[in-house]
Amino acid sequence: MIAGLATYKLLRKYQKALDHLDLKSGLGHKPLVINVDSRDENRTRILVKSTGLGEDRYKSKLDDLRASVGQKIESVTYFNKDNRFVEISLAHKLLENKVNYADLIGNVKKPFSFVVGKSQNNVITENLEDVPHYLIAGSTGGGKSVAFKSLLLGLLETSKRIQLYIFDFKQVEMNEFSVLPNVQVIKDEHEASLLLEGVVKEMNKRYKMFEERKEKKISPDRDKLSRIIIGIDECSDLLGKVKKNDPKFESMERAKRCLNELSRKARASGIHLIFATQKVDVNSIDTQIQENLEGRLSLRMNTIENSVRVLQNSMSYYLPSIAGRAIWKKGASYTEVQCPFLSDDELNQRLDALKEKFYEEEVTMIKTEKEVVKDAEPDPWVSGEKVN
C-alpha cells in the first residue's frame, strides 16, 4: 500500500513536470508518464508515452524539464517509433558520459593492469594478480567490444611477458591485434579446441615446475614465463549449447572442458580468462565457469533478469542509455563507471607503437596445428566414401 502510494506520488510529480512543458502533438496528445523507477536517491528513470511527438520536440524542452524537476538529464532514449515511447533518465549527480582511453591509461601503475573506468570519485584500475578472470556483459550496442579491446590493449601496454589469444570467430573485429607477435587470433572452434588443449598442457607443466621449485604461483620475471590471456568475445558462440550432430559439436565440447578446467585451476599458473557476452545463462556460459569469473563489468542490460544473472542485482538494468556506462563488480563491491572510449584508429596506432617492444624478445606461442601424420589413410569423410 505504502509503496503504491509512493509510486503514485512520483508519477504525479513527473507528470506535472511534463505538463509544464506544454508539449502536445498535432492531434492534441500530451505526453503521459506510465512508469517511474527510482532505484536509489541519485537516479530516476521515467517512461513516457508520447504519441505523435517527435524527438526534436523533446530536445527543445529538455532545459525546461531539468529546471522543473530539479534533476539533471542523463539520457533520453526514443524507441518504438509508432507509439513513441521515450525513456528519460534523471539524476542529481552525473558521471562524465565519455572518457578517453589516452586520458586514463596513465593511472595504471602496476604491470598486467588495465583501466576499468572513471567513477564518481576516481579512476578505477585492476590487475591480473588481484583478479585473474573477468566477464564483460551487456546488450548489443552498449560498448562491450570497446571495453573488451581497451582491457586487452591495457594489458599489452602495461606488461612485458604476456601472450594473448583472442577468439574471434566472426573474424572482423579483433584482427587489428594480430600485428603483434605475441597475439594470435583464433578463427574457429576447431582451432580453439587445439589451442585450449595446449594451454591446459602448459598449465600442468607450469604447476609441475612450481612444485619442483617449491613455489606456489607464477612470478613472470623470476620464472621467465609469460602470462597467458585467453580473450573470448561473444563467448556464447563457443560455450553455447549445440546439437550433437552439429559438425562443431566435438570441438566445442573439448573447448568447454578445457575452459572449465582452466577456470578452476589456472589462476596461480598465470593463465587468465576474459569473456565478453550479451547475456549470462546456462545456454551461453557453463555455471561452473561463471563462478570463477570474479571481476565483472556489466554494461547496460535490457532486462532485470539479465542484470541479476551477471551482478546478482538489477543495477545494470537501471543504467542510463549511455555507451560505455557500466557497473563494475569486484567481490561484494559495486561501482558505476564510465569505461574508456578507444577508437579503432587509436587502437591501431597504439598497437603499432607496441610492435618494437614485443619483437625484441623471442615469443614462443602455443601451437594450434595438428601433428602432421605421414602416409595417413585418406579421410573417408573428406573423400566422400562414407555414406550414412
Ligand X SMILES: Nc1ncnc2c1ncn2[C@@H]1O[C@H](COP(=O)(O)OP(=O)(O)O)[C@@H](O)[C@H]1O
The candidate with the shortest Cα–Cα distance to 323, out of 197, 168, 144, is: 144
Q: Which is nearer to ligand X, 145 or 307 (CB)?
A: 145
State the maximum Cα–Cα separation within the chain, in Å, rounded to a whole number. Answer: 84
Q: Nearest approach, Cβ of 276 to Mg ion (angstroms)? A: 7
Least separation in angstroms between residue 385's CB and ligand X is: 44
145 binds Mg ion (CB under 5 A): yes
**Measured between alpha carbons, how far is 196 from 216 in angstroms, rounded to an integer?**
23
| Cα torsion 297, 302, 142, 177: sign | positive
Angle at 252 between CA 217 and CA 195, to 5 degrees: 45
> Rounded to an integer, what distance in angstroms lies between the CA atom of residue 289 and that of residue 204?
19
- Supply the minimum distance, in Å, between the C-beta of residue 320 and ligand X: 13
Grid coordinates 567490444 are at which residue?
145
Interaction partner, residue 231 (Mg ion, ligand X, none; CB < 5-8 Å by kind)? none
Q: Which residues of the shown chain bind ligand X in the complex (CB under 6 A)?
A: 98, 138, 140-146, 323-324, 339-341
Listed in sequence order, the residues at least 6 apart from 244 whose beta carbon sits closer than 8 Å to its beta carbon are none
Between 271 and 337, whose beta carbon lies closer to ligand X? 337
Partner touching 143 among ligand X, Mg ion, none, CB below 5 to 8 Å by kind: ligand X
Task: Compare residues 94 and 209 and give the one whose CB is closer to ligand X.
Answer: 94
Our CA dihedral for 370, 373, 379, 381, rounded to 10 degrees, sits at: -10
In eight-state DSSP terms, residue 378 is P
Give the nearest residue (CB) to Mg ion.
Answer: 145
Cell triple for residue 339? 569505461
Shortest reach from residue 175's CB to Mg ion, in Å:
14
The region of 73-81, 143-151, 246-254, 319-327 touching Mg ion under the rule CB under 5 A is 143-151
Smallest gap from residue 208 Cβ to ligand X (A): 39
In angstroms, what is the minimal distance from the CB of 145 to Mg ion?
A: 3
Cβ proximity to Mg ion: between 170 and 208 the closer is 170
> Does residue 139 belong to the site contacting Mg ion (CB under 5 A)?
no
If DSSP codes are grouped into helix, strand and coil, which group holds residue 241?
A: coil
- Closest contact distance (angstroms) between CB of 341 and ligand X is 3
138 touches which of ligand X, Mg ion, none (CB within 5 to 8 A by kind)?
A: ligand X
Could you tell me which stretch among 25-33, 36-44, 144-152, 299-307 binds Mg ion (CB under 5 A)? 144-152
Q: Which is nearer to ligand X, 202 or 234 (CB)?
A: 234
Pairing assessment for the beta strands 72-79 and 85-91 based on DSSP bridges:
antiparallel
Residue 172 or 373: the one with the smaller Cβ distance to Mg ion is: 172
- Considering beta carbons, is residue 132 or 340 the nearer one to ligand X? 340
CA 339 vs CA 125, 135, 145, 224, 237: distances in Å: 11, 14, 11, 33, 25
Residue appearing with cell numbers 543504467: 319
Residue 270 binding result from ligand X, Mg ion, none, given CB thresholds of 5 to 8 Å by partner type: none
Least distance from Mg ion to the Cβ atom of residue 281, Å: 18
Our CB check for ligand X shows the closer of 147 and 225 to be 147
Query: In this structure, what C-alpha cell is assigned to residue 161?
Result: 611477458
Pairwise CA distance, residues 288 & 108, whole Å: 31
Residue 236 binds which of Mg ion, ligand X, none (CB < 5-8 A, kind-dependent): none
Query: Strand (E) positions, the chain?
Result: 32-38, 43-49, 72-79, 85-91, 99-100, 113-118, 123-127, 134-137, 162-167, 183-186, 227-232, 271-277, 295-299, 325-330, 333-338, 340-341
Question: Which of ligand X, Mg ion, none does residue 141 bind to, with CB < 5 to 8 Å depending on kind?
Answer: ligand X
Least distance in angstroms from the C-beta of 165 to Mg ion: 18
Sign of the four-CA dihedral 229, 230, 234, 236: negative
By C-beta, is 36 or 238 nearer to ligand X? 238
Residues of this chain that bind Mg ion (CB under 5 A):
144-145
